[in-house]
Amino acid sequence: MSATTYVEAIRQGLWEEMVRDPNVFVLGEDVGVYGGAFKVTRGFLDRFGEERVVDTPLSESAIVGASIGAALVGMRPVAEMQFADFISCAFDQITNFAAKCRYRWGASVPLVIRGPSGGGIHGGPFHSQNPEMHFVHTPGLKVVAPSTAYDAKGLIKSAIRDEDPVIYFEHKYLYRRIKEELPNDEFLVPIGKADIKRKGKDVSLITYGAMVHNALEAAKVLAQDGVDLEVVDLRTLVPLDKATVLESVKKTNKVILLHEDVRTGGFAGELAAIIAEETFEYLDGPVMRITAPDTPVPFSPPLEEFFLPKTSDIIRVAKQLAIY
């Protein structure tokens, strides 16, 4: 069996769910004839037909609005944002409508919105963002951000089967850069369950998305310097797997929070507060954040390189914390 890329894992998950359940359909800009900007839905039109693979006008608000309507009448739409950056055009539909249906009427909106997100691909300020926090902040939405092919496939399937709206952030940088062998048998990855990608005893690093790979790379270097890094991959931001996070903090007593999103109002701040509130007496050092700075994602490659958190940042902060 050959290794499966991250983007192929998403494609397989979508395909399997569409085969399994005729109510599942995809819609978005160029998802049909063109097969999607990133080719996630390549071949879908031929297999599932134009009623289940819908090319839409260039209007994110319309895509999400139509999806919510379809979901309310029993369909299971998977809406693609060509780039997660454009999801803000559908902000009202998502946050004021999809997110509130369960609360107002007990109505189920089994909607998945896929958002290709993240930088490192020289995409500039409108094609590189990590807009997860708008939705983390909105009660009524689930937010996932897989880091591996296995998690990407398992989570897209779980998201489609979920009875409520799930925002699925897939990291563009990982699409074709990582691959792994996936089981032949069907599998799911539960929403709301973090995964310890590397066990360690000295410092816990909590992250998600593409940064998981920087963390694992840093862990290898740090191991040679006698710092044993534990890498916790959240996989799901909402609902947060607090138990796994806090258990790791209680074990190592030192914690770094890492994300590619900008600093202020980023998920690290929320995690830091939870850790301080619930494990204060387990902390043996300050809770440290490693994030992008509070600026738009730069287009210039050297500036983008500077902007993104790097493996060397992790190594530096982990070493400081280890001797604290």
Partner 1 sequence: MPTNVIMPQMGESIFEGTITKWMKRLGDRVERDEALFEISTDKVDSEIPAPVSGVLSELRFQVGETVEINTVVAIIDDEDWAVGTTNSVNLDQQVANEGKASQLQHSKSELSKNQVAQRSSPLVKRMAREEKVDLSDVEGTGLGGRITKQDMLDYLSERNKIVEVARPLVQPVQKESVSFITSSGDDEVVPMSAMRKTIADHMIASRRTSAHVTTVFEVNMTPIVALRKQLADEFIRKEGFKLSFMPFFIKGVVDSLKKFPVMNASLKGNNIIYRKEINIGIAVALEEGLIVPVIQGVHEIGFMSLARAAVDLTDRARQKTLSPDEVQGGTFTITNPGVFGSLLGTPIINQPQVAILCVGAITKRPVVINDAVVIRSMAYLSLTFDHRLIDGALADYFMSSIKNKLEGWNDSIC
- Residues near partner 1 (CB under 8 A): 253, 280-285, 323-324
CA–CA separation, 233 vs 198, rounded Å?
Answer: 9
Rounded least distance, CB 110 to partner 1, Å:
43
Residue 59 φ/ψ, nearest 5 degrees:
-150, 100
For residues 51 and 281, which CB has a smaller minimum distance to partner 1 in the complex?
281
Of the pair 217, 278, the CB lying nearest partner 1 is at 278
Helix/strand/coil (H/E/C) assignment for every residue in 128-149: CCCCHHHHHCCCCCEEECCCCH
**Residue keyed to tokens 């009202």:** 92
Is 127 one of the annotated active-site residues of the chain? yes
Options 127, 171, 213, 259, the catalytic residue: 127
We find the least distance from the C-beta atom of residue 313 to partner 1, in angstroms, to be 19
First to last CA, the chain: 47
DSSP state of 188: -
CB of 280 to partner 1, least distance (A): 5
Beta carbon nearer to partner 1, 82 or 248: 248
> In terms of CB distance, is 105 or 280 closer to partner 1?
280
Q: Which residues contact 128 (CB under 8 A, 6 or more apart)?
A: 85, 118, 119, 120, 121, 297, 304
* Shortest distance in whole angstroms from residue 286 CB to partner 1: 9
Residue 124 or 285 having the CB closest to partner 1: 285
**Cα separation values, 15 from 11, 43, 210, 223, 273, Å:** 6, 10, 24, 40, 40
Work out how close the CB of 322 gets to partner 1 at its nearest, in angstroms, rounded to a whole number.
10
Task: Supply the residues annotated as catalytic.
Answer: 127
